[in-house]
Amino acid sequence: MILETQTDNKLPSPYSDYKKELDNYISDSDTQGIYGCNEFRNQHLSGSKYGAVKTCTMTIKFLFHLKERNVSSYQEYGCKYLFYWLYFDALESKKSIENTLDLYREINVLYNREHDGDNKFNKYISKMNNDTFEKVKKIIHIYDVFNQYTSQVKSEVPGTKCTSSCVELFNSYADECREVYDYDFCNKLTTFGEQYNFFIRKIRECEGEEYLLPPVHVFDATSVIIIPFSLMFVTSSILSFLYKFTAFGPWIRRLIWNKKNMWENSNKQRDQSLNTCEIRKNNSKKPSYNISYNLS
């Protein structure tokens, strides 16, 4: 994302494309084309923003969209955003996370059964919980806070207003990332940090490391030292077990014995060759004696 190409310097969140896709379905009056949604009922959708039929239709259309894209990372993050959308938008935060997951899973069952879903998204949806929701929420929130900041400083003189509430927010999220590593969350946080620092340096023209966000990943010298030694210990333990209690032991002993015999034989042949060469060499150095005989 190149900020300088945008007139308002606003950053879309990593989930913006998913939001746009779902927003397109809101004005779509065609709810008859999704088989099974007209009869779909769920207790958590009573009095909801879109109602049962519309929520079911929008959700399954979005799953169609993810399947068509056929990119695993796009599908995984899309399934996470759909969870967030169901809670915040469709259910307007009026139901619990557990209720939202129940609804999500029920619509996914319909999608698999009636629309050849092939259980494609089960592996993502089955792992979802409150933590999944919170991570998506935090990433969206930090982008919202950043965009509020850019709106506030767009008329300010460059080199001023160099700090924002993003710093404290980012640091708390980075601490969470370091404590319990989540690739998706940490990766998106790293991307945000790079975009934020670009804005501070190049757009706001603020000088000084104190205005920049720190790296999400901190070099841990202790881990670098401990991990190799741990691997060596585990490897040696496994080899010891294999040597003592499996067929690996006799096989390696045979292999070592054969190698040893080959080495000894090779040494003997080499020694014999050297001895032969030495004898020939010594013989060649001995003087020749010619004895004359007087014949009478």
Q: Are residues 83 and 132 in contact, defined by beta-carbon separation less than 8 angstroms?
A: yes
Write a three-state SS string for the chain.
CCHHHCCCCCCCCCCHHHHHHHHHHHCCCCCCCCCCCCCCCCHHHCCCCCHHHHHHHHHHHHHHHHHHHCCHHHHHHHHHHHHHHHHHHHCCCCCCHHHHHHHHHHHHHHHHHHCCCCCCCHHHHCCCCHHHHHHHHHHHHHHHHHHHHHHHHCCCCCCCCCCCCHHHHHHHHHHHHHHCCCHHHHHHHHHHHHHHHHHHHHHCCCCCHHHCCCCCCCCCHHHHHHHHHHHHHHHHHHHHHHHHHCCHHHHHHHHHHHHHHHHHHHHHHHHHHHHHHHHHHHHHHCCCCCCCCCCC
pLDDT at 250: 72
AA identity, residue 15: Y
pLDDT at 279: 52
pLDDT at 220: 43
Q: What is the DSSP letter of 207?
A: -
Return averaged pLDDT per consecutive 10 residues of the chain, 296 residues in all. Answer: 54 96 87 84 94 96 97 97 98 97 98 96 97 97 97 94 97 95 94 97 96 80 41 56 63 66 63 56 51 44
pLDDT at 226: 40
Structure tokens at 53: 């039929």
Q: Could you identify the residue written with the tokens 């409150």? A: 130
d(CA 104, CA 56): 9
Q: Model pTM greater than 0.95?
A: no
d(CA 68, CA 57): 17
pLDDT at 230: 47
pLDDT at 243: 55
